[in-house]
Amino acid sequence: MATFTERMAPVLVLWLAVSLSGTWAVDKGNFKTCDQSSFCKRQRALKPGESPYRALLETMELTNTRLTLQLINDNNKVRLLLELYRLQGNITRVKINELKPLKLRYEVPDVLIRDPPTEPLSLLSQDENGVVLSLGAESQRVIVSARPFRLDIMEGREVLMSLNSRGLLAFEHLRMRKDTQADPEAEKKEETDPAKQAETAKEEEEKVEDGMWEETFKSHSDSKPNGPSAVSLDFSLPGVEHVYGIPEHADTLRLKTTENGDPYRLYNLDVFQYELYNPMALYGAVPVMLAHNAQRTTGIFWLNAAETWVDISSNTAGKTVFGKMLDYVQGSSETPQTDVRWISESGIIDVFIMLGPTPKDVFAQYASLTGTQAFPPLAAVGYHQCRWNYNDQEDVTSVDAGFDEHDIPYDYIWLDIEHTDGKRYFTWDPHKFASPKEMLQGLMDKKRKMVAIVDPHIKVDTNYKIHNEIRSRSFYIKNKDGGDYEGWCWPGSAGYPDFTRADMRDWWASMFAYDQYEGSMENLYTWNDMNEPSVFNGPEVTMHKDALHGAWEHRDVHNLYGFYVQMATAEGLIQRSGGVERPFVLTRAFFAGSQRYGAVWTGDNAAEWDHLKVSIPMCLSLGLVGISFCGADVGGFFKSPSTELLVRWYQTGAYQPFFRAHAHLDTPRREPWLFGPENTALIREAVRQRYTLLPYWYQQFYHAHRTGQPIMRPLWVEYPEDPATFALDDEFLIGRDLLVHPVTEEGARGVTAYLPGKDEVWFDVHTFQKHNGAQNLYIPVTISSIPVFQRGGSIIPRKIRVRRSSSCMMHDPYTLYVALNPQRTAEGELYIDDGHTFNYEKEFIHRRLSFANNLLSSVNLAPDAQFSTRSWIERIVILGASKPSKVILKTDDGQESQLEFDFDSSMSVLTLRKPGMNAGVDWNVMLQ
Amino acid sequence: MMTCQTPYILLLLCVGVSAVEVQRPRGVPLSKRQFYEENKPFTCLDGSRTIPFDRVNDDYCDCQDSSDEPGTAACPNGSFHCTNAGFRPGFIPSSRINDGICDCCDTTDEYNSGAACQNTCREMGRKERESLQKMAEITKEGFLLKQQLIQEAKRGLEDKKAKHSDVQISKKDLENMVEALRTVKETAEQPEKEAKERHLKAWEDQKAVIQMEKDKARMTEVFPELDDDADGFVSVAELLSHSELDPDSDGSFTEAEAQGLLGGVDQVDAVTFESVWNNIKEKYISESNADTPAPVETPTEEIREPASDNDSEQYPEDDIPDEEEEEEEEEEEEDDDQDEGDYKSPPTTQTQEKKDDDDEGTMPPYEQETQNLIDAAQKARDAFDETEKALREVDDQIKNLEKEISFDFGPSAEFAYLYSQCYELTTSEYTYRLCPFNRVSQKPKFGGSETNLGTWGHWAGPEDNIYSLMKYEHGTGCWQGPNRSTMIKVTCGKETVLVSTSEPSRCEYLMEFISPAVCQEPPNPDSALHGHEEL
């Protein structure tokens, strides 16, 4: 769902016509460059060199939990307060604020799941040049240098990261506006000569610098009553050539250097027809960057919700492979280094330095700060059918029936904005959706579900209950003059509830109660779109920065808005069931911590091959910063895909965490069966592959929820020492055991997949062909091919009996795929719960499956957990096996029985027929 | 633990009065019963392998073709047969066995899921029989109506053919008449033209005289104006004060230029000024009235222009105009005729009179003799135009008739009765209008302009039933989308009525239209239900 159509109010159509001028690409002129954002321009103009900041060591205070120290800017004598914390789990937190700010500066609340627990710091040495602190038990130290101020984090003799090493720390202190002291009108009257008057005005502006106290972009002016307030800090990463993260950008997985263009921008925006491979801001922002080399992975979490720009430079950028080799053979002393610099418009510097050392450690460290992926209901991991818009109940019924007729499973059908009564969320169009409960019941009878959109812009209409309640409670965001902020969005004039208020969020959550949200039922879930927030007539299609959230400006909280909308909505879905059912909420805008509330998608993409390709790095980047439940609109939102592109997109989407087809209102219909029987069969097969793997996917979600590890992973996460994996973003891992290289080239006859790990073997999941690791494998493909490999050494459970929906498969038996490594061992897990409630916290089955010494066994990993399943093991397929003479099953009651088997010697595949034991009990299978 | 189930179902079949028990594995249709012989090894239906019989329906898939598990969900692409006694038997994908959803009306698909299914076969059978019967009645009546439509169409076609040849004859007559009247007209127009030219020439001459006198009078006024020192001569210096007279208008009016204007001398007297005046009168701006220059205009060219913007022959060529449009067209034609008639008559329009008043006054009326010639010519023109118009109408009529005669109104022209009819359907928001073989449109109920949802394209049904769908295309374009188009699904009924409309895809409309013209010869109503029944 996106921006504009002819169905908008006429005013907007006009706006559209002017602003879009009929082209199929983003109008870059609608969005700011760094040069057009005054603080970015100001900050970027600072050159590296001697920093004006000096640490006043005599002010140092060291308590058990933190170190504080004042910094002084020798140019203007403004003092800052530095706080340094050692956090549990190898994290260092650095906070810098004004010592005595004119008024409070914004510190981001609600993103951290708790006050991070600290560990003691101890002073190792101190002299007039600085202090050395020990970071806990390991040989890690922080060196605080006084003049200029700088921090170096060391391990042994190695510098892991340096702060302000380039002297780009900048902290614009809050100040009184000087030119408001005098009456500028009076002054001007004295000046009779117009030329002279202009000159004077210009001089004055230059004194305060352009855009410090007021800034205009296109026709929008930002009143900036607090004046300049930007913060900035640089980080040096010695030995690092690869940095990742800071989504959301439509760019490669490995971040590029930004010296020759704009920095990467983090500012949640509704970008119409976004362009690929550039650093422009998109719908969401997670200010987290990962740095990686073969020895170590670290992370930087810059906790600031204002508009933020990130510059990246590298001393090896631009060097060819040959050049690097030359350096190597000539023994060049220059170690590779990446420098990054963060610039935010307001707030404070609050940065968490996650010191790894492994990728998994960094994920765990970040999860300890902002939480883990919400554990979704199992059905949400299935296939979602969406379109803007399913026209009416009859349409919903017939699409639902279409899936049955063509025997394609799906779990959720979606309704976009047209389902409402005039874009009034929480309502239904009285003609097209006259009896929503009947419709929902019809879906429930088939064990299927629905998602309906609820956007945060509220139609200003005194006959609309939601609006009246928000207005009467004064829950709307206010404009700079104190009135309710109004902007244009889908319903026309709309107000924007202030989701930063806890009382507003509570009220919003209560609106999802079954007796409040008329026509809703327990199989109705929610989609939050346009929550950047999108304001059609606002600057950069979003809210004016001088709008007010209580004491804070929108400028301070902008990137948090979407996070809060999803938080309140998810809370509503939890509350309506009395805390029993897991919610499912999709959001377009997000921030650090959004993973706790549901799924995100990559917004309004287009039906183009490059958009299919970029869906991989976009979701990988999100996974690296905690947001695992990611997907792209299958088929592409804008424009109409060719049949080949649509099929390839289903094949790719089936192996990405959030699997939803979606289409723009103005595109021709594209339900899976509309492209002839061959293509219907291809799409059916892709969706079925998804459903057979649901047990594995669900297990990945469980892990992501428990540990914060990403589900969809770049290869380097599992093979951190293999530089060949560092920039790969046309293939990925699901968990650690499945490697997917989707076909994303038009007319492809083959793909080359890198199979990592010199000690690994990989089995083609379709043919069971075995391949060695650490090689580039050329795989010939046809239109039906989805190159997927199972890692030797893994056990993956599947449900082969694909049914109408995931709920219909609940009690079905499992087939275990045991892929042996060269040591003839394998390990895996089996996770089972009820699939939809919070009871999983106590009631679940979690078993370790392991194969060694010709013995396959299932062991309980959670003996305290209670759950029983009707599911059983119907088949065990062992890849890379040799032929046994007999196979014995031993169940926990001591019973032994011989299993029948089938051995395919050409592929070394052993299939054990119908062992039949319950999936939740202990058992052993012996190959003899 | 794995589920247990009975591999057999007991079927109680009522054939007449006797009850027979047929034993076969669950999910197997009678037609395939012979392949599932109890206690004999079972060979997969694709012949790929043979398994012991106790592995049929044992909830494990042994055959690649899924044939060993007709009654369980174990095989990926199996199908399950429901007998559905009392209704129609059918197959469902075996993935729907025991999934908790009742698919077979006889509940046999949910034998082990705990789903509480009701046997609804009898009820469904009854309903289906009722609706089939109803449909059969409708079809029967519709088919009778269709026969009438075919007869009517036949008669209509004959009428049209007859009319066509009649009109052909009257066309010939009209053509001859047009030619004759053209000669009459041209004969009358020659003397008219000459007389008018004479009249005009006389008027022009007279105007020239008047103009000259005016010129002279003005010159007499101007001379003293220019002669600033009133010495009876206009000098170079005096001329130079009138910078508008600069011959090359380059912004500098030099003495040499002024001298040039005075014919090479330094000053001229009132008499010599006459020749100078001719050179400067167009530019001269009177000192007393400097901001109202009165450049001599020649409005004569404008007079010739007809005061109409549609002098070019615009003849709308809509294929099958509906009634409204036809009326409009006729009006336009009349306008056209009027313009043509006006084109050589004396100036009569208000604008022209006004312009004439401004200057040399009105052209005097024609002398009686000339007027008589004009009247005669006008009469001949009128007669000619009227006949020519009649001829055009006849041509249209012929075109329309030919089109109608050759139009594809179905195998027996049973759809011909829809031609030039329109049918409306009003929904909550819009009124939809279908004019078969012409166009489909949509108009907002509460004001707003009409949108064209497509004009007649072609029959678009499947090969075996091409007349079941009509396609209307090239309607109003959609924003960033295709041009609107509409599919009309025609189903059998007694009445002719537009029953539903939807927009399944953006700007692609689907409407259901009932007409007896698609009613097929009704089959024997008894065979309809029992024909496919296994019992």
- Average pLDDT of span A342-360: 97
Q: What is the domain range of residue A526?
A: 378-691
Can A179 be counted among the known catalytic residues? Answer: no
pLDDT band at residue B288 using 50, 70 and 90 as cut-offs: low
Which carries the bigger pLDDT value, residue B476 or residue A189?
B476
Q: Which of A659, A691, A723 is the last residue of a domain?
A: A691
| Chain segment A524-583, per-residue pLDDT in tens | 999 999 999 999 999 999 999 999 999 999 999 999 999 999 999 999 999 999 999 999
CB contact under 8 A, B502 and A395: yes
Query: Which pLDDT tens digit goes with each residue over B18-60?
Result: 344 467 899 999 999 999 998 899 999 999 999 999 999 999 9
> What single letter denotes the amino acid at residue B337?
D
The yes-or-no verdict on residue B243 having pLDDT over 90 is no
Residue B332: is its pLDDT beyond 50? Answer: no
Residues A342 and A444 in one domain: no
The pLDDT value given to residue B262: 80
With 70 as the cut, is the pLDDT of residue B14 above it?
Answer: no
Q: Assign domain B416-518 to a CATH class.
A: mainly beta
B506 to chain A: closest CA residue? A666
Helices (H) and strands (E) in chain A, counts: 17, 53
Q: Determine which of A178-192, A833-847, B139-153, B311-325 has the lowest per-residue pLDDT on average.
A: B311-325
Q: Is the CB of residue A668 less than 8 Å away from at least one CB of chain B?
A: yes
What's the CATH code of the domain at A415? Answer: 3.20.20.80
Task: Looking at the structure, tell me whether residues A837 and A903 fall in a common domain.
Answer: yes
Q: At what angle do helices A561-576 and A502-510 cross, to 10 degrees?
A: 40
| pLDDT tier for residue B111 given thresholds of 50, 70 and 90 | very high
Q: What is the pLDDT of residue A14?
A: 40
Distance CA B480, CA A665 (A): 10
Question: In what helix (H) or strand (E) does residue A449 lie, and over which residues does it extend?
Answer: strand A449-453
CATH of B169-289, one of 1.20.120, 2.60.40, 1.10.238, 1.10.260: 1.10.238
User: Percent of chain B at pLDDT above 90?
Assistant: 43
What are the helix (H) ranges across A355-497? Answer: 359-370, 393-405, 436-445, 465-472
Count Cβ–Cβ pairs < 8 Å, chain A vs chain B: 76
Residue type, A438: E
The encoded tokens of residue B317 equal 């060529």
Tokens coding B436: 């078969």
Kindly determine whether residue A916 and residue B2, on different chains, have CB atoms separated by under 8 Å. yes
Mean pLDDT of A420-446: 97
**pLDDT at B354 > cutoff 60:** no
β-strands A599-601, A630-631 pairing: parallel
Q: Compute the CA torsion angle A799, A801, A806, A807 (nearest 10 deg).
A: -110
| Residue A7 token pair | 């169905």
pLDDT in tens, A12-60: 444 443 344 344 578 888 999 999 999 999 999 999 987 999 999 999 9
Cross-chain CB nearest to B76 (options A446, A800, A870): A800
Q: Closest Cα of chain A to B434: distance in Å?
A: 22
**Chain B residues within 8 angstroms (CB to CB) of chain A:** 1-3, 58-60, 73-74, 76, 93, 95-96, 99-101, 428-429, 478-482, 502-508
Alpha helical stretches, state H, A544-592: 554-557, 561-576
Mean pLDDT, rounded, for A889-910: 95
Tell whether A343 and A427 lie within a shared domain.
no
Neighbours of A118 (CB within 10 A): 16
Q: Where do the domains of chain B lie?
A: 1-119, 169-289, 416-518
Query: A524 CA to chain B: closest CA distance, Å?
Result: 19
| Residues A547 and A410 grouped into a single domain | yes
Question: Tell me, what's the pLDDT at A330?
Answer: 60
Examine the domain organization and report whether A385 and A298 are in the same domain. no
Q: Does the pLDDT at position B301 exceed 50?
A: no
Helix, strand and coil content of chain A, in percent to the nearest 5, comes to 25, 30, 50
Whether A235 contacts A161, CB under 8 Å = yes
B99, B429, B479: residue with CB nearest A666 = B479
Of A653 and B171, the one with more pLDDT: A653
Residue A650 has pLDDT above 90, yes or no: yes
A582-607 pLDDT tens trace: 999 999 999 999 999 999 999 999 99
> Which of A394, A407, A666 is facing B481, going by the closest CB pair?
A666
- CB < 8 Å from B in window 5-64 of A: 5-6
Spatial separation of the C-alpha atoms in residues B488 and A899, rounded to whole Å: 61
Question: What rounded mean pLDDT belongs to chain B?
Answer: 80
User: How many Cβ atoms sit within 10 Å of the Cβ of residue B148?
Assistant: 12
User: Across the interface, do A801 and B74 touch by the CB < 8 Å criterion?
Assistant: yes
State residue B270's pLDDT score.
79
**Last-in-domain residue among A691, A718, A740:** A691
Q: Tell whether A423 and A344 lie within a shared domain.
A: no
Q: How far apart are CA A338 and CA A257, in angstroms?
A: 9
Sorting pLDDT into bands at 50, 70 and 90, what band is A489? very high
Mutation target to probe the B interface, by most B beta carbons within 10 A, among A7, A429, A803, A911 is A803
Say if A264 falls within a structural domain. no
From the list B101, B429, B481, the residue facing A808 with the nearest CB is B101
Residue A362 placed within a domain: no
On the question of pLDDT at B95 being above 80, the answer is yes
Asked if the Cβ–Cβ distance from A666 to B478 is below 8 Å, we say yes
Closest alpha carbon to A290 in A343, A251, A253? A253
Burial class of residue B371 in the structure, from the number of CB atoms within 10 Å of its CB (0-12 exposed, 13-18 middle, 19+ buried): middle
Q: Kindly provide the residue ranges of all beta strands, DSSP E only, lying in B179-306, ordered along the sequence.
A: 233-235, 267-269
Is A447 within 8 Å of chain B by CB?
Answer: yes
How do residues A212-243 score in pLDDT, each as one tens digit? 999 999 999 999 999 999 999 999 999 999 99
User: Using an 8 Å Cβ cutoff, are A268 and A341 in contact?
Assistant: no
Phi-psi region of A501 (alpha: psi -120 to 50; beta: other; left: phi over 0): beta
pLDDT-derived band at A838, boundaries 50, 70, 90: very high
Q: Rounded distance, CA A244 to CA A374, Å?
A: 23
Residue A478 lies in a domain: yes
B260: pLDDT strictly greater than 90: no
Chain A, window 373-432: residues with a beta carbon less than 8 angstroms from a chain B beta carbon: 391-392, 394-395, 407, 431
Distance between CA atoms of A825 and A685, rounded to whole angstroms? 31
A818: which 2 tokens? Answer: 């045991």
Last residue of a domain, one of A665, A691, A717: A691
* H/E element, A614: helix A609-624
Q: Is residue A575 part of a domain?
A: yes
Residue A199, pLDDT above cutoff 80:
no
pLDDT of residue B307: 41
3-state SS class at A308: strand
Assign A185 a pLDDT band (cuts: 50, 70, 90).
very low
Q: Is the pLDDT of residue A344 over 70?
A: yes
Which positions in chain A touch B480 (Cβ < 8 Å)? 5, 666
The segment with the largest mean pLDDT, out of A108-122, B183-197, B270-284, B479-493, is A108-122
pLDDT(A740) > 70: yes
Among A644, A646, A622, residue whose Cα is nearest residue A633: A646
Quickly list DSSP for A78-95: -EEEEEEEEETTTEEEEE
Q: What is each CA distance from B172 to A295, A477, B165, B403, B404, in whole angstroms?
A: 101, 81, 11, 20, 21
Q: What is the pLDDT of residue A803?
A: 97
pLDDT attached to residue A137: 65
Structural contact between residues A457 and A530, judged by C-beta atoms closer than 8 angstroms: yes
Mean pLDDT computed over every residue of chain A: 93
Reduced 3-state DSSP string for A140-170: EEEEEECCCCEEEEEECCEEEEEECCCCCCE
Q: Based on the domain organization, do A670 and A612 belong to the same domain?
A: yes
A633 with A496, same domain: the answer is yes
Say which residues have a Cβ less than 8 Å from residue A91's Cβ, sequence separation at least 6. A116, A352, A353, A354, A355, A365, A368, A369
Q: Which residue in chain B is spatially nearest to A873 when comparing CA positions?
A: B2
A311 noted as active-site residue: no
Number of H helices, E strands in chain B: 9, 16
Note the pLDDT of residue A200.
44
Closest approach of chain A CAs to the CA of B61, in angstroms?
9
- At what angle are helices A676-692 and A694-707 packed, to 10 degrees? 50
**Domains: count for chain A:** 3
pTM of the model: 0.82
Q: Kindly name the residue from A411, A429, A498, A529 that is annotated as catalytic.
A: A529
Average pLDDT over residues A497-509: 98
Q: What is the ipTM of this complex?
A: 0.89
- Looking at chain A, the whole-number percentage of residues with pLDDT higher than 90 is 88
pLDDT at B137 over 50: yes
A256 assigned to some structural domain: no
CATH number at residue A115: 2.60.40.1760
Residue B69 has pLDDT above 90, yes or no: yes
Q: Which chain A residues touch B101 with a CB distance below 8 Å?
A: 445-447, 804, 808
pLDDT score of B73 more than 70: yes
Q: Could you give the CA distance from residue A32 to residue B104 in angstroms, rounded to a whole number?
A: 61
Q: Are residues A346 and A419 in the same domain?
A: no
Ranges A349-353, A451-455, A592-596, B22-26: which has the least confidence:
B22-26
pLDDT at A194 over 70: no
